[in-house]
């Protein structure tokens, strides 16, 4: 590798190697010969031209950012300036396999209030149209793990992110840094896959987000599968304007979070998000006054075989319009809070642990509950449709006189005479996975 020896600074040799590999159209192999390669100025810093491809392979070699300054270990983005969308149709490709990326040279800076002097370290910054990352480990990055911008296809498989994230708490925490896997400006028809790739933030701290999808107005597909997310304020963050994203989240449990699924955006009536076979547990606190799920968009949201539980008060779960709940458990865990059920359909879903000052309410449109269970304090679940909305309950029952209502003339449930049955077993972490 052009003289890289695992010494104090292998950055110059590694960068020359990457530039030569692109010119010769051959892969770079990083041999696992030393405890680590020291790359204080990064391993790769390429401004890709049209048609450029770079493949980096390894048998487990570690690339370590050893200097306390802002740097990306692998930069394949050139003069791209975020958040300006990159050019499309350039046929660029970045492929990574078998690497260990460590950013420990930059320390955690949770209490820093001046964004201008923060040092942020990233594992990968890519504007390649086609991005692949397999069997890689990313750890100790106070900044970000992967940033993939303007992709036509992106695959992250059998990777891991550990101690990856961070958060700037001083002013604008919304669009700063602190994500494990971040995608923005996906192209029309793009496919993004994150599979078998767990994400873990810093212990006892909340990083910004585990997976992020934003700034795209295109029609594209994304999947998060078998990828647990732990220690992020928002486990999955979707922020689009006019996007037609189809996002599927399967068997990707979320814990030590505040909002498991956060969706924000305008003109998203063609967007769809599925959350299946997952639990959202240890929702400790809130983000913007909301917890568990926050859907502030017109996207269709389908939640199936999902168990979710709040652990710190207060909380407001906001499912938003066009939501279906099927075979789910939503657990207040005996905490005061509320759940906004505007225009949703709930089938075989249990609402449990409701305290007397908990509430559920609709706005303008109806909730339909079919074969659902309500468990909690007497009168705790307040169904408020004073604005003319309708509540419909069919074949539902409660463990006692849980429900009180301010309802319109179209109420067709059995309020006041709901059959009383014994509560179900306590919520277990395996409920969703074993259903």
Q: Flag whether 369 is in a domain.
A: yes
Other CB atoms closer than 10 Å to residue 172's CB: what's the count? Answer: 8
Other CB atoms closer than 10 Å to residue 331's CB: what's the count? Answer: 24
pLDDT digits (tens, 9 = 90+) for 272-324: 999 999 999 877 767 777 788 989 898 999 999 999 987 776 567 888 878 99
Residue scoring higher pLDDT (71 or 7): 71
The Cα-based distances of 158 to 40, 98, 225, 362 in angstroms read: 26, 10, 11, 42
User: Closest Cα to residue 71, out of 98, 37, 46, 106?
Assistant: 106
* Overall average pLDDT of the 125-152 stretch: 96
CATH of the domain at 319: 2.160.20
pLDDT digits (tens, 9 = 90+) for 229-277: 999 999 999 998 888 999 999 999 999 998 999 999 888 889 999 999 9
- DSSP string over 58-91: ESS-EEE--SSS-EEEEEE-TT--TTSPPPSS--
Q: Is pLDDT above 60 for 422?
A: no
User: Domain limits at 221?
Assistant: 11-434
Q: Flag whether 225 is in a domain.
A: yes
Q: Which two tokens stand for residue 327?
A: 């075979």
pLDDT confidence of residue 278:
93
CA quadruple 209, 211, 215, 217: dihedral sign: negative
Q: Flag whether 6 is in a domain.
A: no
DSSP alpha helices (H): ranges in 167-258? Answer: none
Which of 37-51, 156-170, 208-222, 355-369 is the least confident region?
355-369
Q: Is pLDDT above 60 for 406?
A: no
pLDDT confidence of residue 357:
59
pLDDT confidence of residue 2:
62
CA quadruple 130, 225, 182, 45: dihedral sign: negative
Q: Which two tokens stand for residue 200?
A: 């873990």
pLDDT level of residue 424 (50, 70, 90 thresholds): very low
pLDDT confidence of residue 371:
86
* Overall average pLDDT of the 408-427 stretch: 41
pLDDT digits (tens, 9 = 90+) for 328-383: 998 888 777 667 766 788 999 988 887 765 555 544 445 678 888 888 777 666 66
Residue scoring higher pLDDT (60 or 296): 60
Q: Flag whether 159 is in a domain.
A: yes
pLDDT confidence of residue 395:
75
Residue scoring higher pLDDT (116 or 305): 305
For the chain, what is the mean pLDDT? 83
Q: Flag whether 317 is in a domain.
A: yes
Q: Flag whether 101 is in a domain.
A: yes
Q: Flag whether 22 is in a domain.
A: yes
Q: Estimate to the nearest angstrom the gap between the alpha carbon of 64 and the chain centroid.
A: 26
Domain count across the chain: 1
pLDDT confidence of residue 379:
63
> Which residues on adjacent β-strands are paired with residue 213?
183, 238
Residue scoring higher pLDDT (151 or 172): 151
Q: Estimate to the nearest angstrom the gap between the alpha carbon of 12 and the chain centroid.
A: 35
Q: Flag whether 129 is in a domain.
A: yes
CB proximity list for 72: less than 8 A, separation 6 or greater: 42, 45, 121, 122, 123, 124, 125
Predicted structure pTM score: 0.90
pLDDT digits (tens, 9 = 90+) for 199-215: 999 998 999 999 999 99
């Amino acid at each position: 590798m052009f003289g890289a020896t695992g010494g104090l600074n292998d950055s110059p040799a590694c960068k020359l190697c990457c530039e030569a590999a692109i010119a010769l159209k051959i892969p770079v192999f990083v041999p696992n010969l030393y405890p680590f390669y020291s790359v204080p100025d990064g391993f790769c810093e390429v401004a890709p031209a049209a048609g450029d491809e770079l493949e980096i392979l390894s048998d487990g070699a570690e690339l370590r950012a050893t200097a306390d300054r802002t740097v990306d270990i692998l930069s394949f983005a050139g003069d791209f300036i975020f958040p300006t969308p990159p050019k499309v149709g350039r046929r660029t490709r970045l492929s990574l396999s078998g690497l260990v990326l460590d950013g420990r040279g930059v320390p955690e800076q949770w209490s820093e209030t001046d964004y201008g002097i923060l040092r942020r370290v990233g594992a990968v910054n890519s504007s390649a149209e086609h991005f692949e990352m397999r069997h890689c480990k990313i750890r100790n990055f106070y900044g970000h793990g992967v940033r993939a911008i303007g992709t036509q296809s992106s695959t992250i498989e059998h990777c891991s992110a550990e101690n990856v994230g961070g958060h700037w708490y001083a002013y604008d925490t919304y669009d700063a840094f602190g994500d494990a896997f971040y995608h923005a400006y996906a192209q029309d028809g793009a496919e993004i896959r994150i599979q078998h790739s767990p994400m873990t933030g810093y212990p006892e701290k909340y990083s910004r987000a585990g997976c992020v999808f934003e700034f795209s107005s295109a029609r594209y597909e994304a999947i998060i599968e078998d990828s647990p997310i732990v220690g992020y304020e928002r486990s999955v963050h979707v922020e689009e304007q006019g996007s037609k994203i189809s996002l599927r989240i399967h068997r990707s449990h979320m814990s030590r979070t505040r909002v498991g699924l956060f969706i924000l955006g305008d003109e998203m009536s063609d967007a769809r998000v599925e959350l299946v076979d997952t639990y959202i547990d240890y929702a400790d606190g809130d983000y913007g006054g909301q917890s568990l799920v926050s859907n502030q968009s017109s996207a269709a949201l389908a939640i199936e075989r999902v168990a979710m539980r709040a652990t710190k008060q207060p909380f407001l779960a906001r499912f938003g319009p066009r939501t279906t709940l099927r075979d789910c458990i939503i657990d207040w865990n005996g905490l005061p809070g509320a759940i906004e059920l505007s225009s949703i359909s709930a089938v075989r879903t249990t609402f449990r642990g409701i305290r007397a000052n908990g509430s559920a309410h609709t706005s303008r449109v109806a909730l339909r509950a079919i074969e659902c269970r309500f468990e909690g304090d007497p009168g705790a679940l307040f169904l408020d449709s004073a604005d003319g909305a309708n509540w419909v309950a069919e074949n539902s029952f409660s463990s006692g006189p849980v429900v009180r209502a301010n309802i319109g003339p179209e109420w067709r449930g059995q309020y006041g005479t709901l059959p009383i049955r014994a509560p179900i077993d306590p919520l277990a972490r395996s409920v969703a996975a074993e259903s």
